[in-house]
A and B are shown apart, each in its own frame.
Chain A
Amino acid sequence: MRAGIVVFPGTNRERDMAIALHRVTGIRPMMLWHRDTKLPKLDLVVLPGGFSHGDYLRCGAMAAHSPVMSAVRAHAATGGAVLGVCNGFQILTEAQLLPGALLRNAGLRFLSQDWHLRVERADTIFTSAWRQGDIFRVPLAHGDGNYIADADTLDRIEDEGQVAFRYCDAEGRVSPETSPNGSARSIAGVFDRSRRILGLMPHPEDLVDPLMGGTDGLPLFKSLLESLVS
């Protein structure tokens, strides 16, 4: 699996992502710069976390209009996989590659703590190493993770199976109280219609080694490795 990680000014989680991808695939991912207009042949493009362009205007708004995003769009249009984590998720919504938007956390606090997610479907390139309904622990590190879309859009993405993960408690129960940031319907991650693009707020890449305190995030990368063998 050949992976590339896009670096914008203000991106700061690209190395965590590179470590996770290297650990699982044995291949060092390429670092791509936001001004690049052409991508090498890749199976997966990752938009990592951070504060691209200082979060000016809105989180991800500037990055969504970077030169590299035309290339990312072209990659996605030909069936290439795209993963956006945290700020990467915000960029994908701003670029309208994913539905909805991410607002300031309902409690206004930056969240830096572990939480639990429930896997909503396991028949995708990102989630095949889990079973549907699996619960896993994952670190949160965001101030603007409050997922929102209008009611029609929420209904549509539920109907079309585009909800990837929901925030839940340790037993997998989902309720407004188990959403740390106020996200509509406790949505933590969404797919595009083709389910080749995934965005999520939490950081599975930061839980891929016992030395990090656990390996709960590994199935995401194992799924991609199995699905995107090349």
Chain B
Amino acid sequence: MKAIVTVMLKDGVLDPQGKAIGHALHVQGFGEVQEVRAGRVIELDIDARDREAAAARVDEMARKLLANQVIESFKVEIV
């Protein structure tokens, strides 16, 4: 089973990398781009008996290590 954890800076947390990417896109002629937010995707191969069990474990992993909840939010998908 594969889990995909998407970690993003929380709304309201300034994202200078996203801003820089947006600026670079504007410079290259993509003027339609408005706000850009940059995050991180982490894929995990999981040995679990079912999707619910996998999701619960990955949720715990995200809380303990993969995301820093002071600044980041996360989303877990089991595929």
Residues of A within 8 A of B (CB): 57-58, 61, 65, 93-94, 100-101, 103-108, 146, 148-150, 182
Number of A-B contacts (CB under 8 A): 37
The answer to whether A61 and B14 have CB atoms under 8 Å apart is no
| A103-B13, A103-B14 given; A61·B20 CB < 8 A | no
The 9 closest A-B pairs by CB, nearest first: A101-B70, A101-B71, A108-B16, A104-B16, A106-B16, A108-B20, A101-B68, A58-B68, A148-B71
Interface residues of B (CB under 8 A from A): 9, 13-14, 16-17, 20, 64-66, 68, 70-71
**Contact A61 B65, CB 8 Å, known A106-B14, A108-B16, A108-B20:** yes
Q: DSSP majority for the A interface? A: loop
- Per the bound structure, the CA–CA distance linking A104 and B16 in Å amounts to 7
* Residues of B close to A105: CB separation below 8 A: 16
A-B contact pairs, 22 of them (CB 8 A): A57-B65, A65-B65, A93-B70, A94-B68, A100-B70, A101-B68, A101-B70, A101-B71, A103-B9, A103-B71, A104-B16, A104-B17, A106-B14, A107-B16, A108-B17, A108-B20, A146-B14, A148-B13, A148-B14, A148-B71, A150-B70, A182-B14
